[in-house]
Amino acid sequence: MDESSRRPIFRAGVVDLGVETTTLPNGLTVELPIIRHPGAAAVVAIDRQGRVVMLHQYRHAVGAAIWEIPAGCRGAGESGLQCAQRELLEEAGVSARRWDHLGAIVTIPSICDERIELYLARELTHRATSHEPDEVIRVEWIDFDRVLRMIRQGEIIDAKTIAAMHHAAALA
Question: Hey, is 34 helix, strand or coil?
Answer: strand
Q: What is the pLDDT of residue 3?
A: 54
> pLDDT value at position 38?
95
pLDDT attached to residue 128: 86
Domain positions in the chain are: 4-36, 40-171
Task: Give the pLDDT score at 131.
Answer: 83
What is the maximum span of the chain, computed from C-alpha positions, in angstroms? 55
Q: What is the pLDDT of residue 135?
A: 86
Identity (one letter) of the amino acid at 148? Answer: L
Number of continuous H segments (helices) and E segments (strands) in the chain: 3, 10
Q: pTM of the prediction?
A: 0.93
Low-confidence ranges of the chain (pLDDT < 50): 1-2
Class of domain 40-171: alpha beta
Strand duo 137-143 + 51-59: pairing: antiparallel
How confident is the model at residue 149, as a pLDDT? 98
CA-closest candidate to residue 114, choices 17, 10, 30 = 17
